[in-house]
Structure 1
Amino acid sequence: MAKKISRTVLFHFLFSGLTFTFLVTLAISFDPYFLHSCANNIGNYTANSDYERNLNTIFKQITSITKSNYGFYSKKVGEVNAMALCRADVKLDVCTGCLKETISRVKLDCPNNKEAIGWSENCTLRYSNTNLSEKLEINPQLCLLNIQSTANEYFQLILGQLLSDLRNKAAAGGALLKYAAGNLSLSASETLYALVQCTPDLSEGDCNHCLDKAATDGIRQCCLKQRGCRVLSPSCNLRFETDPFFEAGAEFPPPPLPSVDRQKEEEEKQNKSNQIPVLVASLSAIFGLAVVFISGFFIWRRRNSRDEENSQEVQLLDLVNEHSRETFNGENGERSQEFPSIQLDVLHAATNHFSDENKLGQGGFGPVYKGTLADGKEIAVKRLSETSSQGLVEFKNEIMLIAKLQHRNLVRLLGCCLEKNEKLLVYEFMPNKSLDVFLFDSKLAAQLDWQKRFNIIKGIARGILYLHEDSRLKIIHRDLKVSNVLLDNEMNPKISDFGMARIFEDKNEANTNRVVGTYFGVLLLEIVSGKKNNGFHHLEHGESLLTFAWKLWSKGEGMELIDQVLVPSCVASEVLKCIHIGLLCVEEDPADRPTMSSVIFMLASNSTITLLCPSEPAFSVGRAIAKPTEPISDDGVFSVNEVTISNFSAR
């Protein structure tokens, strides 16, 4: 089980030449995917544009590498520049696996951003429409700390010495690798371990400067006197712990020295030339034997792979054809209650072979396509990525369970397909797409008056309550956001992707503790305000949506938060109640957040109820926190608890 630790995150963002810094403290389980930074001021690319195609080309090249290249990859295709840096002590398969996961998560968290950074346990990924090579970038800088502090009075002294030695060693590395790791004794029974790394395209001076800023500003402002810390920036990173965390021997061999003595080089060349005749004769015999051996090996392997491929094909077809009488083409109206399946050729015909014209969008688990069956029925087909580690039987069983979840506020799973290494899920089609399409579009937002938005809020809450408490699976959504709320013909909300976590993750409590996606409270505030939490900032103070909402509410000016298109139709008491509930749902202590049943009771209540006074939000996403004004008196009290997606207890 993952060990739960507290981490403090330090962000630096630049606005109009000024640097804003804020600290964020949250308790989360160990997650190999740490954080991301989306450059919202750079601009976005459009779907199916040259930029997107070039970016996907780079992603494919980076994740299909076969040589270690010392863990550093720099690519440029068209306008797109990208860099990837793996920790030098990890193996090639770990490196590529980390990059695949990071690419998937950055795509999900920074959709269509032309510039973004993703930091993971073993790798960093960057891409931009500007040149990245040989360019020192210190900001944004993030810090994650170990909650345990140290009482060793010599700790900082020894840490400074260790980091200084490692910094000089890494900076002096060649153009292929700038990395160093080591340890020093803290006492007879305790050792301090540290690791530093720069992108090797930096000069020695830039690498030294980057690591120096991480060791001074980063540690001093974030994790002074802590037993462990990680400071992450675009061009370098460092980490120290009192427990070993890196491999003793790096996967990558030391890079060649930058220069070689010319005299020794000539002597070596002369010796090699004298050995050529002997080598030619020896190699000729060896080559002949090798040709015979390799030819035989490939003949054997080809036959063996054919047998294996045929076996896998048979296994897939057996699983699919076990209950494949239902083809969803109108020929058979009976629905299999055990394992609804649909044949691949039917889905190819319905989606025009998964053409770009039928593509509805791209999610973290794969693209989604619109399809039309032979009987005219419209469907949505999610083409799952290959990151799931489940076997076919486990995957089938998971689909069977999720298909049995039935609720009016959940998107209905109609069936699936397992053929030719494809994993496809077939859902009911939602003609009005997702909530964010209307909410964040100035022209479409007017179609969502207050009554529709209030009904959407209540519908989402009912769907979450069903997943948390009433369904047999007790699912924690873990990626609740407006783009995952779909709308039917009558603008009724239906939550999508609620089963993806079960399919793609191990089913244990540690994984369900991950904080992924947006809290229900933040989603509620987005619906009320018509503003995105990701990228929102108040021009005067650089506040997040959360802190801006809390500040207005604390001054009794909560109505100033609402989307202006709601003014003619809103009911003030309902709006203020939703803002109040939203703030309660993001309390720092999970015990202070309302349960979903409490949320639904509050939303449905027409009488005057007393609510607890929410405290200032403890964290936000991607913006600075301004000091709040003095809150109004908490003349209301309401005993409620939360709707978090981070706790297995489903608050």
Structure 2
Amino acid sequence: MISSTLLAVLYPMFTLIAQATAQQMFLYHFCLDSPGNYTANSTYETNLKVVLSSISSNSLAEIGFYANSKGQDPDKVYAIGLCRVDVKQDDCLGCLKNSSSLLPQLCPNRKEAIGWYDSCMLRFSNRSIFGIAETYPQFYIWDGHNVSDEDGYKRILQTLFDSMKSEAASGGSHKFAARTSIAPDLSTLYVLVQCTPELSDVDCSNCLTIIYSRTPQFVGKDGGITYTPSCNYRFQTYPFFNVTYATSPPPFLASSLPPPPVPIAIAGKERKKTRTAIVIVVPSVIAMMLTISICIFVRIKKSKDNFETVEGIKSVESLRYDFSTIRTATNNFSDANKLGKGGFGIVYKGNLLNEQKIAVKRLSKNSQQGDLEFKNEVLLVAKLQHRNLVRLLGFCLEGNERLLIYEFVPNRSLDYYIFDPMKRAHINWEWRYKIIRGIARGLLYLHEDSRLRIIHRDLKASNILLDAEMNPKISDFGMARMFVLDQIEGNTNRIVGTYGYMAPEYAMLGQFSIKSDVFSFGVLILEVLSGQKITHFHDGENSEYLLSYAWKNWREETTSNLIDPTLSGGPITEMLRCIKIGLLCVQENVSDRPSMTSVVLMLNGNLDPIPTPTQPASFMQSNIVSSTSVQNDNSSSVTNNEASITELCPR
């Protein structure tokens, strides 16, 4: 797919081509994951086909707006088609007909999707979308040409937008406004705004205000486009709509604009020279522009750090920070502000101008998987809100720089405390039990309660951050995968995670599910209780694999040997219950592990009796150790507990 940067450069040049082929391709489309998928030949698919086929009927309203639904819940389908008001009805019907055929192909089996052409928009969903103002997902592009008078452009566009917003909002059945105006450089500005006609005046006005506020990247550019489900905004220095639909600028604006240039009369001989010059210059300019464009394309194609590597980030563009802002906040990424280092790169503490404290993860330039992790974390964490998940404030993309900006969590990570003999003595059972339950609630939200179903795939002590009250916050979603709500498991050839925390079916076969996270959580419980790492348990001079040690003592009814000695005097019944839950979570058979719903109930004492665990997975001691050592001999993959990335070959 062409990157947004290249598209922005080429868009004005190829506008006529784009208009000629607008019936054949989308400018952009989104396939939404949250409602889930429908199955082939299902009732939902039948209803979808009926609704979409009716879009091309001659009964389409003349205003270029179509809204209809078909079926009964949960298989009911809602659809909206919208054309620009200036588009002829036949062209509108043709555009919607092609989009109704193409969008289901681009988003196979998705219950919700949206696509934008140059002249029409189509969306469908399994939920009611009529009369609801929505500004997500959002698609935008901007032209690559800078203007000579940035402030002048900004003032005129703001004034035009304010008057057009009011005109569109009060536009009755059209909700549309278009203007032409003279720009400070004496070029002609063409501006258009539109809402879906079923919105209220207030909702239309609010929708346009929101998308206009999200377009700081348009400043200094001579063109830009923003599309959302409920409204859109566009300005160019060339005509992209039928100018007969454009209204005049308001008198107060017209009086402030520079007068149009006075045409200069040219004598006959001079006119001939002018025509000759045009014949020579125009092809030369076009050839030069094509050469420049090709060079830009080749350069972008070769670069590993272009926008294609983070395609999809545009949907959360409102969270973007300027690099200069973050550089200032971190004192130019000084060593004094360094908080730690992981597989992603270095984490820095920062202070924004409003005194808000932040944590900044700076992608290492040597990271092979960095861009994938970066995109994954931005797109997932931006949609998740829970007290036991670290909160993403924003991101930064500039040149080779990839930054993630998080809330600052002052008490570092869980491993900083529980694996240090001195520090863990100050973390009593009350704190540890609070941390275990908080992690469980965060996982339950990811697996069941959020509008997405997320498999973390790298749950470990170093990815649990602790706030000022020692509340745990799950972090580092670079390895996470999103499931549809009725999906049970997935498969991958790229096995990522940390040695010791990975479930056997994932490490050996590449199969992952919510029960993979449950396994990791069970390991965490045993680590928190014992104060020692999963890879070994020190019992005097002896060292043993933690799961084996825990099972041996459970079987011999000497489980208290597993408990950190600094917890002596704590509620032994509560601790033994946690050990039992931890052993249940690390069962080798996936179906024997509880769900996080059951885990939360068991931790709160609301599920009794707790099932009796059997011998946990023991594959880690033999198969994976040898496999990992081979990997370390032949690759640069890191597999110790300090890193986030482990590459294993599934058997």
Give the TM-score taking structure 2 as reference length: 0.42
Decide which structure has the larger Cα Rg and report it: 2
Give the TM-score taking structure 1 as reference length: 0.42
Higher relative contact order by CA 8 Å / sep ≥ 6: 1 or 2?
1
